[in-house]
Amino acid sequence: MWSALSAMGNSVAKAAALDFGVQWGCWAIAAALKTEKFYDLAGSGTFFALALQSLRWGGTYHTRQKVQTGMVMAWAARLGTYLFSRILHDGADRRFNNVRNRPGIFFIYWTLQGVWIFSTLLPTLLLNNKKKDRPLTTRDYVGWGMWSLGFIFEVVADYQKSRFKANPENAGRFINEGLWSISRHPNYFGEILMWSGLYVSASSVLKGWEHISVISPLFLSHLLINVSGIPMLEAYGLKKWGADPAYQEYVRNTAKLVPFFW
């Protein structure tokens, strides 16, 4: 038992070291160049690398492990590519307007990204360290179904917003069509649903203290709902369109996060 715990702790510790090593190394480069252009790319790339490496460290390739790792990697590749192409097009990320020239504050942003990556990946790290396999259960299929629905929401929402912004006729307007007509933040809804689903699936083989990895969807939800996601975008929208009656009606009649259709 103790040897198993030691091996698991070793694997998790290596993942943490790699995670923060990458973030702090990238911070040093980004601070020197005074740029945030590869911030999101570094984050998604770390997700991809840690998911794959944790599977290799574990040394077993059970179906549950392969599916979960593949889902993380698919999400990371898709989101990383999308965010990197977006910042190359936009030229800057307004989240960093007041920090890119302040190395100390910039360091906090990169460190917070490391915390986000590690806590969000924790169920996957623990799952991939499991040596014994168990038959797939209803919980696995429910979790994978949640992830699939969330992935579709995020991909479609991002596509609809990109297409909307690419249309010159929509310059200066807010998006209120497609999935954005039933939720003001459908991409964040998809994100939370995906990571909740991966915890649900992984939990079918987790034991005792390992269920602390429920922090994955909880911490992610806290970040998006209360810290760096919705509050910043809502404040930006209010500042830009708050005097517009159409925007006021949109806010009144559209769910903030969980979509509703009436």
In a domain, 260, yes or no: no
In a domain, 192, yes or no: yes
pLDDT tens-digit series, residues 170-193 = 999 999 999 999 999 999 999 999
pLDDT tens-digit series, residues 142-176 = 999 999 999 999 999 999 999 999 999 999 999 99
Res. 262: pLDDT tops 90: no
pLDDT tens-digit series, residues 85-102 = 988 888 888 888 888 889
181: exposed, middle or buried (Cβ count in 10 Å: 0-12, 13-18, 19+): middle
In a domain, 259, yes or no: no
Residues contacting residue 32 through CB under 8 Å, at least 6 positions apart: none
In a domain, 12, yes or no: yes
Mean pLDDT on 27-44: 93
132 in the Ramachandran plot: left (φ > 0), alpha (ψ -120 to 50) or beta? beta
Q: How far apart are CA 193 and CA 153, in angstroms?
A: 9
Report residue 139's pLDDT band, with 50, 70 and 90 as the boundaries: very high
Mean pLDDT on 240-258: 95
Task: Give the range of the structural domain holding residue 141, as residue numbers without chain letter.
Answer: 2-253
Number of domain units in the chain: 1
In a domain, 37, yes or no: yes
In a domain, 261, yes or no: no
Question: What pLDDT does 95 receive?
Answer: 83
In a domain, 262, yes or no: no
In a domain, 164, yes or no: yes
